[in-house]
Structure 1
Amino acid sequence: MKKSCIIFCIFLLTFSLQAQQSKESLIHYVDPFIGTAKMGHTYPGATVPFGSVQLSPDTDTIPYAFQNKYNPEVYRYCAGYQYDDPTIVGFSHTHFSGTGHSDLGDFLMMPTVGELRLNPGTASEPDKGYRSRFSHDKESAEPAYYQVELTDYDIKAELTSSTRVGMHRYTFPETNQGHVILDLTAGLYPYEGKNVWTFLRIENDSLVTGYRQTHGWARTRTVYFALKFSKPFKSYGNEKYDEKQVYKGFWGRFDQSNNFPEIAGKEIRAFFDFDFEDGEAPLIAKMSISPVSTAGALANMEQEIPHWDFDQVKNEGQQLWERELSKIKVYMVDPDDMVNFYTSMYHAFLGPTVYMDADGTYRGLDQNVHQAEHFTNYTSFSLWDTYRALHPLFNIVQQERNADMINSMLAHADQSVHGMLPIWSHYANENWCMIGYHAVSVIADAMVKGVKGFDHQHALEASIKTSNTTYFDGIGDYIDLGYVPEDKSGSSVSKTLEYAYDDWAISQMANYLGQESIASQYRKRSKGYTHVFDSKSGFMRPKLSDGTWKEPFDALDTHGQGFIEGNSWNYSLYVPHDPEALIGLMGGEKSFVNRLDSLFSMELPEKYFEQTEDITKEGIIGNYVHGNEPSHHVVYLYNWTKQPYKAHDKIRNILKTMYQNSPDGLGGNDDFGQMSAWYIFSALGFYPVAPGSTQYAIGSPLVKSASIPLPNGKTFKIITKNQGEDKVYVKAVYLNGKQIDKPFIEHSDIMDGATLEFHMQNKPAK
């Protein structure tokens, strides 16, 4: 009887612990500071999932730091914040997450006390400007919330946000010299002349509206704002500029710098003065943005945050994050892995970002105002990065959003002069950054995986148009010759390989839609990689327009060899759509496995690290560069050989060394969630090697267990037996209780709500 009672009590305790764990808040596993040091390029500020506003501190903005040449200091500030910096310049409302290029940083606000200063100063001489020192001991961040004490002013600054509105809460000391600075010149694109025009209008003693037009990475970008304070300001003004900066004309008769209701010019820094008594309620400010108009910004504010309850906004934002993070529920053996997993989920859901007013209007690529009909319009498509794993992840856990993202791409194509899908676009602009036309990969992957909500035929037609736009990066020569010649277009081998993959993605679409003639045409084009493979050297290498190989050739060099963000060792393995053929080109399985082994074990000579803008020692294992995306699929290529076990220890090594629970814990910039999506897939135990295929390659899971509640009401479950830090090799895999004999699963297995069970051991299962 006692034994039965004990067993029953143990059962109740176990059930209670499991129930408690299932109800545990997942946002507490998110650390927004991960990736804010060194190369991660993430920001720690407040935002909601896919939000238009990313309200975050900037520790420097590096104004006009260089002119048409690389400067590593600029690269450091792509997200505006570096963890090791000692000062904060202010809090701006728009940021990229994890990108390798800078822009945005709109509408920087900074509360100050004492003598008014309207220049930011420098990190070495902060007292000459409005910036403030700060300490990480008095700084914290959570999803949808950030707070810091500005040491020089004894001000506690807190930030939260909704989709289109940033909310500030400033707790001032007693003073009759309180200020809030609004800097319309600050930004995160370091070229002189970024500001084309700015405008500011004082609507009343607590409401300000305006806009900012910039010429930066996006060559013509206009963002409107409405700023409302919870307390009237006693006076206001702006920094005086000469005629070169503010057109005066007949306006010259007025003192526009002091209590004048509107100001226009290229460079405006405004200030708003307040008195504060001891113990007075904090000052709250709401900054709403719009791509269309100040009226739109005001309407967004009224719809999303019509009140002054900061804590309510914070709680609502965190509820949104809790819902999104719950789309994958995992249990990990190591608590740090839980933090890494859910921080990766957090970073994966920061973008692309909503780009339209609450009423559905937005500014399009043609600079006209459009209405999003029956879809949410998104912007900031870092497609060269995110087509690989982020969008495939969305096809499991964010299907409706991914369909809307594709609709946004199709709208972009409709507004394009030549009907091109986006390459790297943001804020109604095409940046033409990076290579390939990888929107077609995103579309193909969604289509073949059964994602609904977009016009499939329209998507195929837009993909075909894009693939035949001959002015783009050597496509004309690629169509005529089957490859991009290096003497006509740089990075020619990378382009050829990526075009070949994208053409395969188009063939997958056409095949899915039953259009065999198109499918056949693009399957043929997808063999373009064969034209740049040199059987003598065993590497992909640049070819000239006369059909000869470019000399000299160095497979380890990243410069002048026909590659971008990689070398021939990396890109020679970039044929994700046809691994079997690649193995044949490289001399068969034995030779291919030796190539993979060497990639991970070789030591790069020091001279190849000299050009730090392309390659650094961080993010590298041997010659495998995890910090640059072309290698992300490579470790899974072992699955196409008889030695898939060779991937397992390498996957776990990447998971442990390239992702850590610290500000410098990312082994490369996160690239709008691609690095994080790689972690999520690989921690779960499978990866989409070739988006556009329904197949996933099996790896070595880091999770103890996982469950994914699916949009169709089913649940996909992962169970790992004998999981442990030294148990990195997969002994056997069972799908719904039946052992599988190939290291692959299908998308339908996931969506049918299967159970995937891994059995692990500490030695290779040969």
Structure 2
Amino acid sequence: MKKILIAFFSCSTLIAAAQNKTTEKLVPYVKPIIGTQRMGHVFPGATVPFGMVQLSPETDTPSYELNGHYNPDVYKYCAGYQYDDKTIVGFSHTHFSGTGHSDLGDFLVMPTVGKVMLNPGTADKPGSGYRSAFSHANEVSEANYYKVKLDASGIIAEMTTTTRVGFHQYTFPKSDSAHIVLDLMAGIYNYPDKNVWTYLRMVNDSTVVGYRLTNGWARTRALYFAMTFNKPFIQMGYKNFSKREVYGGFWGKFNHVKNFPEIAARQLKVWFDFKTQENEKIKIKMAISPVSIDGALLNLQTEVPGWDFEKVKNDGQAQWETELHKIVIEGSKDDKENFYTSMYHAMINPTVYMDVDGKYKGLDQNIHQADGFTNYTTFSLWDTHRALHPLFNIIEPKRNADMVQSMLAHFDQSPEHMLPVWSNSANENWCMSGYHSVAVLADAVVKGNTTSFDANKALDAAVTTANHRTYESVGDYIDMGYIPDEKDGNSVSSTLEYAYDDWTIAQMAKKLNRMDVYDTFIKRSQNWKNVFDPQSGFMHPKEADGTWRKTKFDPFTTIGMGFIEGNAWNYTLYVPHDPAGLIKAMGGNKRFVTYIDSLFSYDLPDKYFAETEDITKDGIIGNYVHGNEPSHHDAYLYDWTDKPWKTQDKIRMILKKMYKNTPDGLGGNDDTGQMSAWYIFSSLGFYPVAPGSDQYAIGSPSVYHATINLESGKTFTINVKNQSDKNVYVQKILLNGKPLSGYFLSHADIMNGGELTYVMGSKHK
């Protein structure tokens, strides 16, 4: 009986422990402030998963030009916020997360007291405008919640969101001159003439609506808004900062400065006056829409019909709990903060881009109806095809299928009939090289994730995109098998990227039994060999006459060497689809291992940093540039050699060096979640070296235990025995109790559910 009781209590304890693990709140481990210092380029404000609104503070909004020249601070402020800054300019509703390019920052709101000021002031003299000093000691940054005290006024600013609505709550002191400033001019990447037009109309004494047209990185972007207050404003006023004041219609008959019915100009700032009691809360809801003012009003009424700030905050955090629980890990507090902040950053982009009724603006600038799918935008595909979309194919398959459908809609609406390259807000930004949307489509098709799109249509779109002869030297690539050095500044890297993309098309065609397409593109995928110089041992620029570049070639240098965001040392390893072929071309296993070793051990010369924006040397280990995505698979290539233990050693080293739970804890731009997706995969112990394949290369897990909760209801469990900082080497791997042969895992192994066990040790095998 005693044994039975002991067993009963032991069982009860285990059940209770399991329940506690299941119900543990994960939002507290999310620290959006991670990566806001230096070059992480993420924002600390509020957003829900994949939300259309990202409501966050701006610590500066530098002009594109400084004294007639490009202002390097524009790059520094891609997300509008830098942790080292001491002042806040205001709170705007749209942000990129972790990009190396700037735009957005729409509809900046700032609460003030005293004299109305409509210029932002300067960081060294914040009192010269509506800017305010602040302290991190009075700042709270959580998933879907941001709070800060504005020292200039004593106002407590809080904000939260739904998918399409930003909810502000400002606690004012007692004042007869309280104001809300709405700056319709402010924006990130704020070069001259970015604002094409702004419009605002008063609906009643507590609601205004309007829109903003901008010509920024996205050249023809329109965003509509509906803004409402929880109490009537006493009056409102505006200033037109356009060089020319043009009034028409009723302006000669009515007072157009205060309590105006509507106003339109290129450069507008508006303010709203209130009288407040001590600790009175002025609440603001601002909904946005890519379609219309009516769409913004519908979004507002549907998503936030009431004024309960805490409910909106809690509902949004509940959404985050659902998403974060798709992977439940065990580890230290630091491990969990790094992991769940990475999960958070991975689930900000791509962003929903449609109203609650399914209407959205297409690339053709017409209004479309999303039928049976959610339309998304913010596709940084040069970055995210590598790990972010493969991650979604595991934990967000339905959402990723909708993203593919969004890309196919883009293709249909494109006058060039091209899949997206880097698209945002019904615009194609044509940023970076390759046509990597095809890799995202192929990865989904090969892994059977085609719930909301036609796989054969996806293949047709990929083939059409890859055969666009006038796009970025594709014609030369098709005709010659490489891009001549004198024709394109990115000749080598683009050749390599096209070859990989072509391989993914071949894999999709093979899956769909379209063997004519497969034969064409599998042959094209070997074009990487045409830019590999066996004499130098590097990928090398080649002239149109078939000879290697005659001028000096420096494998350390980026600028002018035929590569983008990398050098010959990095890009020589960029053959993710054919590591075995690359090893053979480079002289065999021993030379290949030595080459990867040297990548991590050789220090880049100082002249490299003079050529790049990343002058802080963030994200660099030797000559390995983790902050630039073409290197993300490099450490895993040892798995194709006789020294897979070197992958394990390097992965654990990169995890420690490149990711920390501190403001400077990202070793480079997060690039809309790619850096974070690399961390998630690598922490779990495997990585998609070549998306478009159903295989993952094994690394070295840093978690103690993990459960992936799949959409099917199945679970894939990862157990790590003998886990420690010293035990980085895999001694044995068991899949469902049986030894795993080799260092590769299949997608089906994960999606079928089951258990993967790593046995770790301090010495390599």
Structure-2-length-normalised TM-score? 0.98
Change (3 A) 1:245 1:385: farther
* Distance in structure 2 (CA, Å) of the matches to 1:489 and 1:756: 46
Change (3 A) 1:7 1:456: closer
Task: Please give the per-residue CA displacement for 1:210-230, whole angstroms capped at 9, x wherever unaligned.
Answer: 000000000110000000000
Map of 2:620 onto structure 1: 620
Say if 2:442 and 2:508, in contact at 8 Å, map to a contact too: yes
Task: Please give the per-residue CA displacement for 1:440-465, whole angstroms capped at 9, x wherever unaligned.
Answer: 00000000001022111110111011
Task: Please give the per-residue CA displacement for 1:90-117, whole angstroms capped at 9, x wherever unaligned.
Answer: 0000000000000000000000001110
* Pick aligned residue for 2:373 from 369, 372, 375: 375
Map of 1:676 onto structure 2: 676
Work out whether 1:63 is the aligned partner of 2:54.
no
Q: Percent identity?
A: 61
Work out whether 1:397 is the aligned partner of 2:395.
yes
Secondary structure of 2:611's counterpart equals coil
* Distance in structure 1 (CA, Å) of the matches to 2:732 and 2:193: 60
Task: Please give the per-residue CA displacement for 1:219-242, whole angstroms capped at 9, x wherever unaligned.
Answer: 110000000000000010112446
Cα distance, 1:66 vs. partner? 4.6
Cα distance, 1:714 vs. partner? 1.2
Map of 2:316 onto structure 1: 317
Say if 1:565 and 1:615, in contact at 8 Å, map to a contact too: no
Cα distance, 1:251 vs. partner? 3.1
Cα distance, 1:259 vs. partner? 1.8
Say if 2:242 and 2:267, in contact at 8 Å, map to a contact too: no
* Distance in structure 1 (CA, Å) of the matches to 2:48 and 2:207: 24
Task: Please give the per-residue CA displacement for 1:245-283, whole angstroms capped at 9, x wherever unaligned.
Answer: 555577356542222111111100000000012343x11
Map of 2:665 onto structure 1: 665
* Distance in structure 2 (CA, Å) of the matches to 1:68 and 1:757: 60
Cα distance, 1:23 vs. partner? 1.4
Change (3 A) 1:130 1:617: same
Map of 1:150 onto structure 2: 150
Work out whether 1:340 is the aligned partner of 2:338.
yes
Say if 2:695 and 2:747, in contact at 8 Å, map to a contact too: yes
Structure 2 matches for 1:114-513, cutoff 5 A? 114-241=114-241, 244=244, 246-247=246-247, 251=251, 254-280=254-280, 282-332=281-331, 334-453=332-451, 454-513=453-512
* Distance in structure 2 (CA, Å) of the matches to 1:155 and 1:608: 46
Task: Please give the per-residue CA displacement for 1:466-497, whole angstroms capped at 9, x wherever unaligned.
Answer: 10112211111111111111211111101000
Task: Please give the per-residue CA displacement for 1:689-745, whole angstroms capped at 9, x wherever unaligned.
Answer: 000000000000011111111122211110000000110011111111111230001
Secondary structure of 1:610's counterpart equals helix
* Distance in structure 2 (CA, Å) of the matches to 1:242 and 1:103: 21
Q: Which runs of 5+ in 2 are unaligned?
A: none
Say if 1:158 and 1:169, in contact at 8 Å, map to a contact too: yes
Q: Which moved more, 1:756-765 or 1:71-80?
A: 71-80
Cα distance, 1:552 vs. partner? 1.2
Secondary structure of 2:65's counterpart equals coil
Secondary structure of 2:260's counterpart equals coil
Q: Please, what is the CA RMSD of the aligned residues?
A: 1.6
* Distance in structure 2 (CA, Å) of the matches to 1:322 and 1:585: 48
Say if 1:422 and 1:439, in contact at 8 Å, map to a contact too: yes
* Distance in structure 1 (CA, Å) of the matches to 2:22 and 2:51: 27
* Distance in structure 2 (CA, Å) of the matches to 1:5 and 1:357: 58
Cα distance, 1:16 vs. partner? 3.3
Change (3 A) 1:635 1:68: farther
Map of 1:38 onto structure 2: 38
Change (3 A) 1:544 1:248: farther
Specify the code of the residue in structure 2 equivalent to 1:448: V
Q: Which moved more, 1:76-85 or 1:62-71?
A: 62-71
Say if 1:247 and 1:265, in contact at 8 Å, map to a contact too: no
Work out whether 1:576 is the aligned partner of 2:576.
yes
Work out whether 1:609 is the aligned partner of 2:618.
no
Specify the code of the residue in structure 1 equivalent to 2:522: R
Say if 1:138 and 1:148, in contact at 8 Å, map to a contact too: yes
* Distance in structure 2 (CA, Å) of the matches to 1:56 and 1:248: 36
Cα distance, 1:615 vs. partner? 6.1
Cα distance, 1:243 vs. partner? 5.6
Cα distance, 1:3 vs. partner? 8.7
Map of 1:536 onto structure 2: 535
Change (3 A) 1:614 1:170: closer
Change (3 A) 1:67 1:463: farther
Say if 1:66 and 1:191, in contact at 8 Å, map to a contact too: no
Structure 2 matches for 1:721-736, cutoff 5 A? 721-736=721-736
Q: Which moved more, 1:245-254 or 1:122-131?
A: 245-254
Say if 2:63 and 2:74, in contact at 8 Å, map to a contact too: no
Secondary structure of 1:599's counterpart equals helix
Change (3 A) 1:3 1:753: closer
Structure-1-length-normalised TM-score? 0.98
Say if 2:338 and 2:660, in contact at 8 Å, map to a contact too: yes
Map of 1:95 onto structure 2: 95
Task: Please give the per-residue CA displacement for 1:492-542, whole angstroms capped at 9, x wherever unaligned.
Answer: 101000000000011011111101111000011111111101110000011
Map of 1:555 onto structure 2: 555
Specify the code of the residue in structure 2 equivalent to 1:368: N
Specify the code of the residue in structure 2 equivalent to 1:319: A
Q: Which moved more, 1:14-23 or 1:256-265?
A: 14-23
Cα distance, 1:17 vs. partner? 3.8
Say if 2:419 and 2:461, in contact at 8 Å, map to a contact too: yes
**Which consecutive aligned stretches of 4+ in structure 1 deviate over 6 angstroms post-superposition?**
1-8
Specify the code of the residue in structure 2 equivalent to 1:409: M
Change (3 A) 1:445 1:252: same
* Distance in structure 2 (CA, Å) of the matches to 1:566 and 1:732: 35
Say if 1:206 and 1:230, in contact at 8 Å, map to a contact too: yes
Say if 2:483 and 2:494, in contact at 8 Å, map to a contact too: yes
* Distance in structure 2 (CA, Å) of the matches to 1:58 and 1:751: 41
Change (3 A) 1:678 1:243: closer
Say if 2:652 and 2:702, in contact at 8 Å, map to a contact too: yes
Say if 1:565 and 1:614, in contact at 8 Å, map to a contact too: no
* Distance in structure 2 (CA, Å) of the matches to 1:668 and 1:71: 20
* Distance in structure 1 (CA, Å) of the matches to 2:592 and 2:730: 22
Map of 1:703 onto structure 2: 703
Task: Please give the per-residue CA displacement for 1:548-606, whole angstroms capped at 9, x wherever unaligned.
Answer: 22221001101100001000000000000000000011001110000011111112222
Cα distance, 1:14 vs. partner? 5.1
Task: Please give the per-residue CA displacement for 1:297-355, whole angstroms capped at 9, x wherever unaligned.
Answer: 000001100111111100100110000000001101x2101100000000000010000
* Distance in structure 2 (CA, Å) of the matches to 1:604 and 1:472: 33
Say if 1:246 and 1:266, in contact at 8 Å, map to a contact too: no
Specify the code of the residue in structure 2 equivalent to 1:608: Y
